[in-house]
């Protein structure tokens, strides 16, 4: 009892009062939307902007109360004002089923994203006026674009009703034509843009792999037995090799321990990569040149594609406006004249047709230019890669002695015999290439397939020609030097000497590659 009495004097804890959840502020909406249309022909989707004034992101749900109006949104969520991207578009298409006026509303419900709080409900009025044409120009059964009528060339001696019917029929087909031309073109062009990006990225990866293939490799597995080290010593030169071997021999004769250390020193010296500095410099140069090549290609592609993308977007926007807002305005005028039977001037509709045709032509030109770029890109990237590898070979040939390779060509030179009908001809056989083992496998493969004119700056070349007129010619081209005759034999020597080595070499480059 005492406890029960005491409870009367104890404070009773208050139950927390549930705070109402915050309701989003209404969106800022555009004006009510008005459409003109033709029964059985849906219009393009027309946008109206939705702006979120809240400091939190909201989710958006759209619904039309009239089935003549179809609604979709550019985004299910609209970011907050803090994020700066707080707008989205609601798209409405008018697809009337019956002639006359249709009215409805676009219902917009919003709530804070991820929260189960109260919703804000708003409406935007929709109104459309539809006409049922007696002689609709049906769209082609194969899905091809509708032919755009040339109203300027059609007879003018028509009643106002016939003119209005004809012009209304013409204007109402623009939306279908836009879908057929731009819809299909946009899908193909988007795919081309994606593939252009993939090709450029792939080029960068290919250059990166090539650069790392040229860098010196220092792997423990490459260490060899002592006899291989001695073989490398011989490669250093007889004097240097004997000197080091002698040191090892003396040490062996004195103390076995010292001998072992000396022999280890010989092995280490033999395995040492004496061109490591040069190779590292070449690797760094390859990496720098490779990065420059990738950057140059990316810049060139961007400079080519960006204006085309801008042109594409501009022409698409113009064609879209002409197929919707301008066409609907002309439809409205034609419908009014159709019902009243009053005088009707069709010139503005004819101008609309011509402008729309021009807009689609410009759009197609932009798509063709992008397609041309996409077609030319693979060969352009391959040429850029070839240029990079050629520049790398030239750098190594001029700045280092770790790679001096030699090319030997053999061929026949006909100065104009009966067999060649008096024409001067040259036939070359596959070149023999030596001294390029210091290159990676990929670079050796690249060297084998180069042309004579490409070798001139980074290899020593000799060309031995046998002449049908008797004798032969040997011409040599050293790196950084002019070609010279090494040997002139027989009747052909006179012709070769008259031309000079430079002229003969130019002739070979033009006819051999």
The rounded distance, in Å, linking the Cα atoms of 355 and 334 is: 18
pLDDT at 167 exceeding the cut of 50: yes
The rounded distance, in Å, linking the Cα atoms of 428 and 240 is: 43
Global pTM reads 0.67
The rounded distance, in Å, linking the Cα atoms of 179 and 323 is: 10
The rounded distance, in Å, linking the Cα atoms of 321 and 316 is: 9
pLDDT more than 70, % of the chain:
80
**DSSP assignment of 227-271, as one string?**
HHHHHHHHHH-HHHHHHHHHHHHHHHHH-HHHHHHHHHHHHHHHH
pLDDT tens digits, residue range 337-361?
877 777 777 788 889 999 999 999 9
pLDDT tens digits, residue range 417-438?
777 787 888 888 888 888 877 7
pLDDT tens digits, residue range 258-270?
455 555 665 555 5
Structure token pair of residue 240 = 């240097």
Torsion, CA 301, CA 303, CA 306, CA 308, rounded to 10: -90
Residue 92 binned pLDDT confidence (cut-offs 50, 70, 90): very high
pLDDT tens digits, residue range 19-63?
557 888 999 998 889 888 888 888 888 889 999 999 889 999 999
| Residues forming a β-bridge with 110 | 60, 120
* pLDDT at 463 (0 to 100): 92
Higher pLDDT residue, 143 or 369?
Answer: 369
């Amino acid at each position: 009892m005492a406890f029960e009495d005491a409870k009367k004097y104890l404070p009773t804890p208050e139950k927390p009062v549930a705070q109402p959840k915050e309701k989003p502020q209404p969106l800022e909406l555009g004006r009510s939307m008005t459409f003109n249309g033709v029964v059985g022909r849906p219009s393009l989707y027309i946008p109206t902007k939705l702006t979120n004034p809240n400091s939190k992101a909201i989710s958006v749900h759209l619904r039309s109360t009239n089935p003549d109006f179809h609604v979709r949104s550019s985004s299910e969520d609209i970011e907050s004002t803090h994020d700066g991207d707080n707008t989205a578009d609601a798209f409405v298409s008018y697809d009337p089923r019956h002639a006359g006026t249709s009215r409805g509303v676009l219902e917009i419900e919003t709530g804070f994203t991820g929260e189960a709080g109260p919703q804000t409900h708003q409406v935007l009025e929709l109104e459309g006026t539809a006409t049922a044409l007696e002689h609709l120009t049906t769209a082609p059964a194969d899905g091809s674009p509708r032919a755009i009528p040339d109203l300027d060339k059609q007879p003018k001696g028509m009643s106002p009703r016939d003119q209005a019917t004809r012009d209304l029929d013409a204007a109402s087909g623009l939306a279908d034509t836009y879908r057929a031309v731009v819809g299909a073109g946009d899908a193909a062009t988007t795919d081309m843009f994606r593939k252009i990006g993939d090709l450029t990225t792939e080029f960068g990866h290919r250059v990166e792999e090539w650069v790392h293939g040229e860098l010196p490799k220092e792997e423990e597995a490459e260490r060899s037995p002592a006899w291989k080290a001695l073989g490398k010593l011989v490669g250093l030169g007889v004097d240097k090799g004997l000197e080091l071997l002698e040191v090892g021999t003396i040490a062996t004769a004195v103390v076995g321990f010292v001998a072992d250390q000396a022999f280890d020193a010989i092995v280490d010296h033999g395995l040492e990569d004496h061109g490591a500095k040069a190779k590292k410099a070449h690797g760094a140069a390859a990496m720098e040149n490779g990065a420059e090549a990738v950057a140059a290609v990316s810049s060139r592609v961007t400079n080519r594609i960006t204006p085309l993308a801008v042109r594409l977007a501009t022409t698409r926007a113009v064609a879209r406006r002409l197929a919707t807002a301008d066409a609907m305005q002309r439809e409205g005028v034609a419908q009014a004249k159709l019902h009243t039977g009053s005088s009707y001037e069709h010139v503005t509709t004819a101008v609309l047709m011509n402008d729309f045709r021009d807009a689609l032509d410009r759009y197609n030109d932009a798509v063709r230019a992008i397609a041309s770029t996409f077609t030319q890109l693979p060969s352009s990237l391959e040429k850029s890669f070839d240029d990079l590898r050629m520049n790398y070979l030239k750098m190594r040939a001029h700045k280092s002695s770790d790679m001096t390779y030699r090319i030997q060509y053999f061929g026949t030179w006909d100065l104009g015999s009966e067999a060649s009908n008096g024409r001067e001809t040259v036939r070359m056989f596959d070149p023999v290439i030596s001294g390029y083992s210091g290159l990676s496998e990929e670079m050796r493969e690249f060297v084998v397939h180069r042309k004579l004119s490409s070798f001139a700056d980074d290899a020593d070349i000799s060309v031995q020609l046998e002449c049908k007129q008797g004798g032969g010619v040997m011409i040599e081209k050293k790196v950084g030097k002019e070609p010279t005759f090494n040997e002139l034999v027989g009747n052909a020597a006179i012709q070769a000497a008259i031309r000079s080595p430079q002229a003969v070499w130019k002739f070979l480059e033009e006819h051999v590659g």
